[in-house]
């Protein structure tokens, strides 16, 4: 993104960087950095990883249904190579319209608390 008027340098990175021409209007210099084609791979590697659960539970208390949803979300986050000790949960619970009285919908999302969190070995 250009933040000022006039010509500015452009740093070309990512898989499509080779498509950037050497001369462009508003650009003083195009800079192709070594290993710049890996820029997207680095961003993908440090992005937040998550596991989610949105499920109907039968014959369980609200507390047990939420705990079960959290466990499923954690298991899915671990399957994505996320250490659960860094997980944060967003929880929702409630009776969905049309469900029998003994059924409860519980939703949970376990996600990394910060970008660039530790990945499991």
On whether the pTM is more than 0.75, the answer is no
What span, in angstroms and rounded, lies between the C-alpha atoms of 21 and 50? 38
pLDDT tens-digit series, residues 13-63: 888 888 999 999 999 999 988 888 787 776 666 666 678 888 888 888 888
pLDDT tens-digit series, residues 66-117: 889 888 888 887 777 655 555 555 555 555 666 766 777 778 877 765 444 4
């Amino acid at each position: 993104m250009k933040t000022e008027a006039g010509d500015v340098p452009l740093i070309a990175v990512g898989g499509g960087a080779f498509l950037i021409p050497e001369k462009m209007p508003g650009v003083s210099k195009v800079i192709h950095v070594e290993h710049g084609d890996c820029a997207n791979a680095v961003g993908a590697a440090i992005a937040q990883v998550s596991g989610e659960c949105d499920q109907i539970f039968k014959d369980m208390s609200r507390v047990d249904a939420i705990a079960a949803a959290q466990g499923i979300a954690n298991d899915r986050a671990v399957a994505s190579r996320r250490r659960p000790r860094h997980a944060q949960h967003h929880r929702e619970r409630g009776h969905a319209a049309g469900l029998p009285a003994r059924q409860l919908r519980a939703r949970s999302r376990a996600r990394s608390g910060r970008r660039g969190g530790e990945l499991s070995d």
